[in-house]
Amino acid sequence: MEQWFSLKWFTLDMLRSYEWVYPYFLYALPAIPFLFWLRSAFHRKHRQRLVITYNKERSRMDWLTLLRFFQPVCIAIALALILVALARPQIVSERTDQFSEGIDIMLLIDISESMLEKDLSPNRLEAAKKVARQFIQGRLQDRIGLIIFAGEAVSLCPLTTDYELLYGFLDEIEPTMIPTAGTAIGSALAVAVNRMRETSGESKVAILISDGDNTSGNLGPTTAAQLAKAFGVRVYSISVGKTTKLIKASDSLNVSNSAVDESELQKIADLGDGKYFRATDNTALGSVFKQINQIEKVKSRNVVSRDVSDYYRVYLYWAVTLLLIALSTKSTFMANILED
């Protein structure tokens, strides 16, 4: 506690900052001057009187006369401070901590060459990276990981709550990171399931972003989706873009402008107890992530911590000090011995 003898304890700002545990004691403050008046009224007829010659010139107030009021003023203030102490002034500071039952989320991002198509601005891959960043910013205490895939799948970032680390990995994603051509959706989903199968999250989610069908990898997307369901991983699949550019034909890749085949991604979502989304532009892609954000709500609870500081001792110390001063002046010129 700070120094109790500081005058700051009597400032208006300090008194306003208090919360009073027993505020009804403060209502007794106006009774203090009434008690002094009552005491004077009861003792007026019984006062001892000393007959002296009255001299008008000497009846004027001087500082010695005023000092006669010092003792009753000290007692009155001491009584007021005792009432303030009984009201128990406190300063209460509250802090709200939010705790959540985190969700394990794996972001699976297709980085194949077709993701450089510009039907989304500036291209499909950059649009996916942007909304993924926005999605991460909206989560609270969730563990999020990152998997990239083209002709094969790579776990770029394990499940983590270090979102700054995730942002760094997102910024570094380029199609050249996986030189193998193709789209290994099944392999990417299998890697995600492998990363989450033994985690303790309240919910496990895989968000798959791609613009084409499964054209490579050792595991089919249907099998991977069934595997995800077996391990309790819910799969949300998102197809991006208006056209797909790369379709596998034997060992070579031919260019085509056919529409995106949604059936495979739709089937993955259905088998994975999730939902399929179609995003043909940046706005639609952002809307998809907002929908997923609403579906996978985090169960959170607020814990309010109250830090209570009592200050009644300060006013009690002042009251005792003033009472001691009043008692010490009892036998001095400040007191009126005729009233004792």
Residue range 110-135, pLDDT digits in tens: 999 889 988 898 999 999 999 999 99
What DSSP string runs through 104-172?
EEEEEEE-SGGGG-TTSSS-HHHHHHHHHHHHHHT-SS-EEEEEEESSSEEEEEEEES-HHHHHHHHHH
List 86's β-bridge partners, or say none.
Answer: none
Contact assessment for residue 107 and residue 145, using Cβ atoms and an 8 Å cutoff: yes
252 pLDDT band, cuts 50/70/90, is very low
Per-residue pLDDT at 260: 52
Contact 283, 245 (CB under 8 A): no
CA 50 to chain CA centroid, Å, is 75
**End-to-end distance of the chain based on CA atoms, in angstroms?**
40
Tell me if 209 sits within 8 A of 107, measured CB to CB.
yes
Q: What is the dihedral of CA 176, 177, 180, 184, to 10 degrees?
A: -120
Q: Which residue has the higher pLDDT, 331 or 309?
A: 309
Give the β-pairing of 103-110 and 203-210. Answer: parallel
pTM: 0.58
CB 111 within 8 A of CB 150: yes
Phi and psi angles of residue 51, each rounded to the nearest 5 degrees, phi first: -85, 120
What is the model's pLDDT at position 94?
A: 81
d(C-alpha 161, C-alpha 242), whole Å: 34
Token pair, residue 93, equals 């500071």
| pLDDT tens per residue across span 161-219 | 999 999 999 999 999 999 999 899 999 999 999 999 888 767 899 999 998 778 888 88
Which tokens sit at 49?
């009187």
How confident is the model over 49-65, as a mean pLDDT? 57
Residue 218 CB neighbour total at 10 angstroms: 9
Mean pLDDT of 48-68: 60
Q: Does the pLDDT at position 247 exceed 90?
A: no
Number of H helices, E strands in the chain: 11, 11
